[in-house]
A and B are shown apart, each in its own frame.
Chain A
Amino acid sequence: MATHEFAAREPHAHAAPQGFIRKYVFSLDHKIIGLQYYFLALAAVFVGMFLSLLMRIHLIWPTAVLPFLGEIKPETYLSLVTMHGTIMVFFVLTTAPQGGFGNYFLPIQIGAPDMAFPVLNMLSFWVTFLAFLTLIASFFVIGGAPLHGWTGYPPLSALRSSGPGEGLGADLWITSIAVFCIGALLGSLNFITTTLDMRARGMTLMRMPLTCWAWFCTAIIGLLAFGVLLSAGILLLMDRNLGTSFYLPLGTINGQLTGHKGGSPLLWQHLFWFFGHPEVYIAILPAMGVCSHLLSVGSRKPVFSYKTIVLAMLSIVVLGFGVWGHHMFVSGMSPYSGYAFSVPTMAITVPSAVLSFAWLATLWRGNIRFTTPSLFGIGFVSLFVAGGVSGPFLAQPALDIQLHDTYFVIGHFHLIMAVAAIFGIFAATYHWFPKMFGRRMSESLGRWHFFITLIGTYAIFVPMHYLGIAGHPRRYSQLTEVDYLRDLFPVQKFITYAAFVTIAGQLIFLFNMFWSMFRGKKASDNPWEATTLEWTTATPPPHDNFAGHTPVVHNGPYEYSVPGAPDDYVMQTDPATVAGH
């Protein structure tokens, strides 16, 4: 068995708290904060999923009277679209992989006792929580939730009179986003400082697990992107409440002048998408890191070309800031700028393809253990490739003008960004659950969950590509009244039924998780026989992660199937060298 070498360390910056409130509510411990983020995202994902369920029901049975909610009106449908997108993008895809797992495992994986700034860490969670409450509050104010979509394009989002949800509801929405930005910035600050300054002895940058690299890259993107979204939100709030005209051109509503003149709605689109496109990578990069990590553990092989994966992720960080205009091909911007944004968009498929090949090569001829985390890792690769191949279509301005406002785009980004990132979250949950809660999740329930979710996801989103090519517009709330959509209605019906099954499948996950938390099989300290530092410490880890010591790192993170080693893996802390091989 591997022996671990530890170095003495100064006492933990803050002592283990005793009271319930300091221990579980206003905790400074990165592990508790990570769990708080995780459960916030879990609550948010079920709210967001419930909204998508209502949308699917409304599309198929537009006049159905639902219990408690009544009939869904067209403007309510738009509110559902808006809130589904906002909740999922900000409070699930940004919160769970980075705030949740990143917070919990980044310090442990690099051998640190905590994040660099524990108080800021606590603040960043509570600020995010406040943002979530603010967003949810918009459901309950007069006029209800906003209907300007998660992208919040003005003039719709900038004028109070433009719709029922555009009064207080929209103000709450913008405030929530601005507050979320501050929380995300505090988080990014902590992640970068921790990665650069808190690594244990021997943990060189190129010995970090790829998950840490992914969290590091994500934090860099967040640091550069969220400030711009904050500025865009401030300008929008000023337009709405102080009468300025940053985004609002001269115009009339119902024959009356709005009092604004000279602003440019395109300005919002540029600022928003300068954040919005990197945000896609904020959602997917941690999943890429988790996937690279888990495929190596699952296939008992060193990850294929560690350096290439790191380089590919870094080049995604750089290129990701140069492609925002591809969301705006139909905005009326100059065709030359369209071309200028199309080229880097095509270029960013290169690192993405490099990553996909690296994952396949990691699996290739591996001694694969088909555990639930491995399955979700493989599922992630499948979804990433399936969603990725439609990307180059949309990167062409000429094709995008046809496809932009159709279901094709919905299918594309749900596969590659939304569900792929969710698969990353699932994989991480199944993988790290034993470390977080000291018990194993049920493997058979996990397999059921995986196959239902994988097949269900494809059944929902692949037909949407077909709908889009057939010209089915998105954002329409009533499909039964439109003649040329009548022939496509059976496909919409199929999608709704598939959504029912997939959502029901998520209840298996919920049951598995909460049942295993209390009744699952006890886990050993290293149930997956993985090499990284979190598996050298107790389960669940003590308050300062390594019980008064700092690990000393001797090896890279992916030493599997090492010839001559007593096990088929060598821990990162293992000082033993193996003579010859």
Chain B
Amino acid sequence: MASFTPTIPAPRRTTSRGNRADLPPVVGGGDGGRPDPGAPDYGARLRRARLGLVIALTPIMMLFVAFTSAYIVRQGLPTFDPRTNTVVHDWIPVPLPTLLFLINTCVLLLSSVTIECARRQLARQVALEPVQSIPGVSLATEGKFPWLAVTIVLGLCFLSGQWLAWSDLAARGFYVATGPSSSFVYLLTGAHAVHLFGGILALLVAGAAVVFNRPLASRRIVVDVTAWYWHFMALLWIYILALLEFAH
């Protein structure tokens, strides 16, 4: 006799044990859900480059964290003089060229603004590129100002300003090896300048991409990532300046 008991279908068992998930998620892995197989996927590359930049900023931060901890430790460290058998404190604060540093800070912050303009200008250009290829559509006034070149010039101005600051320190007799505090001033500002110079090189690469007629989207990735790096350099400079001004 037929049974009226409803048949409850048993859930299908998968062989997976540890991480039971019946269907692979569509998005979650890196290659998931790409829209247009066949074309180079600039969206994914931009996302990847930004992620890479965030990761790359970590060791730069660690470098300056290490310098800072050395700075603070060295500052508080009394040193033993075996000639006189006394503990002496040899930290002589360096009189900083504060006005010059403030001007440099303004130049750097201004360059941060201009590079942000360059970044947005390029993002707009990339977005409008498909529209521009439609016959009869022209976007004549869109984005001609050379923000990138202005940023490079401002970056070089900042570096020259730092050079002036170092000459100013040297003119007043504070060299790298004069005392522990002057060593740290040169170390921190120098390490920052080297990193900023790396940013200028990246911008030059982006500029060269125009000459070599590289795809706009690929140039945009370089400028985008460098812009974020540049903002980080501006923040880092403010941190260094605050450290030198308030903990000298």
Q: Taking beta carbons and an 8 Å cutoff, which residues of A are in contact with B?
A: 7-11, 13, 111-112, 116-117, 185, 188-190, 192-193, 196-204, 206-207, 223-228, 230-232, 234-235, 238, 242-246, 249-251, 261-264, 267, 270-271, 274, 302, 306-307, 550, 552-556, 558-559, 562, 564-565, 570, 574, 576-581
Contact = CB atoms under 8 A, between A and B. Distances in A.
Given A227-B62, A271-B66, A10 B10 contact: no
A262 B90 contact: yes
B31 A554 contact: no
A157 to B, nearest CB: 16
B12 interface: yes
A187 to B, nearest CB: 11
Contacts of B73: 264, 267, 270
A23 B179 CA distance: 52
Contacts of B10: 580
Contacts of A564: 15
Contacts of B61: 227
Given A202-B29, A227-B60, A261-B90, A193 B48 contact: yes
- Give chain B's interface secondary structure class: loop
Interface string B15-32: 111110100111011111
Interface in B180-232: 180, 183, 187, 191
- Give chain A's interface secondary structure class: loop
A199 B30 contact: yes
Given A200-B30, A231-B63, A244 B183 contact: yes
A204 B21 contact: yes
A148 B62 CA distance: 26
A112 B79 CA distance: 55
Given A10-B39, A231-B70, A580-B10, A111 B31 contact: yes
Given A243-B176, A302-B18, A554-B16, A249 B66 contact: no
B52 A189 contact: yes
A555 B59 CA distance: 35
Contacts of A193: 48, 51-52, 55
A201 B31 contact: yes
A17 B226 CA distance: 29
Interface of B: 10, 12-19, 21, 24-26, 28-32, 34, 36-41, 47-48, 51-52, 55-56, 58-63, 65-67, 69-70, 73-74, 77, 79-83, 90, 176-177, 180, 183, 187, 191
A9 B33 CA distance: 10
B79 A250 contact: yes
Contact of A206 (B19, B36, B63, B66): B19
A577 B176 CA distance: 70
A244 B70 CA distance: 13
Contacts of B66: 227-228, 231-232, 271, 274
Contacts of A230: 59, 63
Contacts of B37: 8-10
A474 to B, nearest CB: 29
A250 B81 contact: yes
Contacts of B176: 238, 242-244
Nearest to B88: A262
